[in-house]
Structure 1
């Protein structure tokens, strides 16, 4: 972390790329239709489109939305269903500036006879693509994949170099950085994290709604700090050229390279890898203290994000369409940002 002339903290929010350069630039999200995301929960839920209506206390609906973020839709569904916000489940947060398809669950035990009326009310707000009953609430990260169909416009760069870089991306993947949106505008969530009292994160959240907005914000800021430290360790590995290979001391069972999601006790790595990770974290004592008093268990995260079934085609000389799948918790913007200097056009729409 460095300090500006005004004393305001500035955070690194752009990390080294796998090749050291980005061979091209492009416009991202010129319109919501240029960024399409489809959530896949697996055969059980996909079968709902073929007439499988399931059974259980939760009514699950698959919606298409444009211009609304996931949490807003969840809160509106709670109003329509006359239920509590925490009784609405979903598997992941989806971008507002996109056309997104995802599932939501609504806790409605013994109310099957009223499903048709509720579905009709929901359909007046968002297209309902499928629905089914299910025994459990949908929870974060339970989906199998997110499918992306993205259009990049005003692509500038040598097409042969771009195609070669995309072929390498399909073969090797990209560094699995957390996306900059996790850290807030200009790293604002990290500024907040520095001021947190780590002991407050151990307190049980009271009330049926889970403790209110302040507790949720604190968890958000804490998570941002943890993610930023992961990115800093990954950047060290990318700079050393060994981010895609497992090194001695990495606690990985399947042979993949991993980095630390810092917690109480620091890292699960040992030996030279532990020394590397601790040396990087030690450069940021303002965050290191956050984990000294919490009970957050150290975890690991893959250093490589591997797009599945990646394919692309040039619609025009400077327009590129891409299709791929990613596991939960991995970012399409991270994948593209390893190759392209991206100008996110949705940010300018937000500032209007």
Structure 2
């Protein structure tokens, strides 16, 4: 299987890209740094390391770290995988009870190095991030500069649809088909692959439902039965849907949400629930498979407004963007509303799967919790 049978042609919010560009033509064109939701305590049984890597996948770095520290691979953890195609700075912990810590500055090579080393009392668990900071350089841009600047302003003020990025779905999107094969018993997947395929299936359904609302222009407009929520905290508002709340939705302070599919009743109601159910019913194998795997109904914000969003023209055809996104959000969702980004072809399908950005958490913890009133 070399190409998915599922469509990945999601609707654009602002009329489609205003030009084309080269993306990730060199590692320094895509720089990502994780933001922890806490400060390492400086004491405890866990080494806590900020490691910069270039051209390497996260699991490989974790294995190298375990060998250097003299611990089992299971003693090393991280919050999420990062794309190997770029420069990424991410946190790792290594459990070292009773062990003397080595000289961490000696851990490194041509493609990775330790930027910061301290101690902490707990392991770094999957999804334990506040967000990510990005520095993205786009080269050989086409299109009118005035149109590019106007679109940048639109993105900064109104945001973009909070789609899952293409790396979530594997090489040419085949991970959704593999999820179907896993659900039907035609494919036996190892434990680490199962979570990848489940994530791909659930994310595709989310994108599909969101795309419908983007297509008809309702993704920013409250409808009867909608479930608003907060992008940063991940909490939902299940009551007090008054005019003040609707104004906050219009302003971007609060977002509407669509389902991350699983067992249980949809939290939406009326018109919205009817529509979500109708779309999901078109893909019974995906829905039934996710439910059988024990995933529960959750929801995810539909609007993504990048924080600290800035742009700088380095020359007439080179644009550099800096912005911060909450965990669970993809830089490619921002870029697709601006440019058609041409990325160097990735020849090895396995490497594409390894580069899945799991910053948005393992299954079951990426949805929103429930708040009974507005905040």
2:21 aligned partner: 26
Of 77, 82, 91, which aligns to 1:103? 91
Contact 1:41/1:142 (CA < 8 Å) preserved in 2? yes
Q: Summarize deviations over 1:243-302 as a string: whole Å, max 9, x none.
A: 123433233335421110000135322221111111111111221221342321111111
Contact 1:58/1:106 (CA < 8 Å) preserved in 2? yes
DSSP-derived class of the 2:28 partner? helix
2:331 aligned partner: 332
Higher helix share: 1
1:14 lines up with 2:9 in the alignment: yes
1:44 aligned partner: 39
**Distance apart, 1:60 and its partner CA:** 0.6
State the number of aligned residues.
325
CA distance in 2 between counterparts of 1:84 and 1:7 reads 36
**Distance apart, 1:329 and its partner CA:** 1.3
1:122 lines up with 2:110 in the alignment: no
1:240 aligned partner: 216
Aligned CA RMSD, in angstroms, stands at 2.5
Of 143, 152, 172, which aligns to 1:186? 172
CA distance in 1 between counterparts of 2:114 and 2:21 reads 33
Normalising by structure 1, we get a TM-score of 0.86
**Distance apart, 1:43 and its partner CA:** 6.0
Q: Summarize deviations over 1:4-40 as a string: whole Å, max 9, x none.
A: xx99752212311112321111110010011111112
CA distance in 2 between counterparts of 1:311 and 1:29 reads 19
**Distance apart, 1:65 and its partner CA:** 0.7
1:202 aligned partner: none
Contact 1:245/1:256 (CA < 8 Å) preserved in 2? no
Of 120, 128, 142, which aligns to 1:142? 128
CA distance in 2 between counterparts of 1:220 and 1:312 reads 33
**Distance apart, 1:124 and its partner CA:** 4.6
DSSP-derived class of the 1:23 partner? coil
> Which segments of 5 or more consecutive residues in structure 2 lack a partner in the other structure?
229-235, 238-253, 352-375
Contact 2:263/2:294 (CA < 8 Å) preserved in 1? yes
Q: Summarize deviations over 1:46-78 as a string: whole Å, max 9, x none.
A: xxxxxxx71111101111110111121112212
CA distance in 2 between counterparts of 1:348 and 1:195 reads 23
Contact 1:249/1:270 (CA < 8 Å) preserved in 2? yes
CA distance in 2 between counterparts of 1:316 and 1:127 reads 31
> Which segments of 5 or more consecutive residues in structure 1 lack a partner in the other structure?
1-5, 46-52, 200-211
Contact 1:34/1:152 (CA < 8 Å) preserved in 2? yes
Structure 1 residues 245 and 75, CA, compared in 2 at 3 Å: closer, same or farther?
farther
Of 28, 32, 43, which aligns to 1:55? 43
1:205 aligned partner: none
CA distance in 1 between counterparts of 2:269 and 2:308 reads 35
DSSP-derived class of the 2:278 partner? helix
**Distance apart, 1:41 and its partner CA:** 1.2
CA distance in 2 between counterparts of 1:149 and 1:67 reads 16
1:163 aligned partner: 149
Contact 1:246/1:256 (CA < 8 Å) preserved in 2? no
DSSP-derived class of the 2:20 partner? strand
2:71 aligned partner: 83
